[in-house]
Structures are given as structure tokens and as C-alpha cells.
Amino acid sequence: MKQNEAQNPISSDQITIGLISISDRASQGVYQDEGIPALRTWLTNAISNSCTFHERLIADEAPLITKTIIELVDVVKCDLVLTTGGTGPSRRDVTPEATLSAGTREMPGFGEQMRQISLKFVPTAILSRQVATLREIQDHAALIINLPGQPKAIAETLEGLKDENGKAIVPGIFAAVPYCIDLIGGPYIQTNESIVKAFRPKSALRK
């Protein structure tokens, strides 16, 4: 069990984030995991809140993936859980099924948008099976999202596509994450707008 804390004084709302890298070989020490460091770096730069990260590196085993997500939500009380790896069509890619098993309600728009972003780069994006779901228990709720396995693809998916002037061409999925977490009773997430601008309707903006 590994925990990292990144502090930023801009916002007083603490957010607890679970990061799960799913890889048989990385979990066995065959090669170094790159997914969790990439996620942690991107989130630390993009989120203005004080963040605590709880990290897990596990094998491609559906029961273990489901168990780990449930532990991070129910016990650790993560507000957001991001997974990386295991979302393709190979027989060992079981992350989407395991994520849905841990969830209570699916959020299909996230998967749809992730594939739209990836299709701007590679035609094989249609092979991705990434999903997102909510897990709601009596006193807590969290948003769980499957992300790609490669660091570059992780950043592209979260940020979206921008032109040479920095203007968004295709919105990244993280723009919708803060408001989703608002709606399920989580902390008010503020972002570094030079990386990603959180979208909220005017009625939901903090004054």
C-alpha cells in the first residue's frame, strides 16, 4: 500500500484519489510501471486542490481489480479512482468488466469521449473498451474511470486536443470530472486552466 500527498494551498478542499495500474508484467517486476507516475504528475499539475493519492499496482485479475476499487472507495474513501491498463480486446484485458462489477451506475459518456479523442490519433481506438462508473455506498460515492495504458495517451485523454494557440479542439474528459464529483457529494475541485478548464453551469460555480 502506497500513499503520496501533494499539497497546493490554492483550494482548501481536500480530494482523495485512487490510482490503479493494471499490468501482469509490471506487477511482477518485469518492467517499471509508467502509468501511476504519469497519472500522479498530470493530476498534481492540473488540480489546484490539496490531493492525497493512494496507489496500487496489480495484475490483470478481474476479482483483484474489483476488490481493489471497492477498497479504495469504501475503506480509503477516495472521491475519484483512475485505472490505467487492461482495456483492450486481449483475453487478459478484464479491467472494464471488473470496473463495472465494482460500480453501481455506469457513466457511458466518458468512454464515448475517450474513444473520440483517441480516434484523432489512431484508428485502433475503436478497440478500446474503457468504461466509467459510479460506486455509491451509504455515506460516500466516487467516480471511477478507466484510462489508457500509455503516459502520452493518458494526458491526451484527460486534457483533450488543442490547436497551436492552446485552444481546445476536442474537450478532454477531465473537464467534466469536477462537476460530476459535485453532483455525487464530493469536494469542489478547481483546476489549472492552462492545462484543463473545469466546466460547471453558472448555478454550480462557487462564489
C-alpha span between 12 and 6 (Å, rounded) = 13
**What whole-number distance in Å separates Cα of residue 60 and Cα of residue 73?**
20
Q: Dump the DSSP string for 56-107.
A: EEE-S-HHHHHHHHHIIIIIS--SEEEEES--SSSTT--HHHHHHHH-SEE-
pLDDT tens for each residue of the chain, 207 residues long: 455 544 444 455 899 999 999 998 888 888 889 999 999 999 999 999 999 999 999 999 999 999 999 999 999 999 999 999 999 999 999 999 999 999 999 999 999 999 999 988 889 999 999 999 999 999 999 999 999 989 999 999 999 887 777 777 788 999 999 999 999 999 999 999 989 999 999 999 987
Report the predicted TM-score, pTM, of the whole model to 2 decimal places.
0.92
Measured distance CA(201)–CA(174) in Å, rounded:
15
CATH code, domain with 46: 3.40.980.10
Boundaries of domain holding 9: 2-204
What is the SS3 assignment for 40?
helix
How many structural domains is the chain composed of?
1
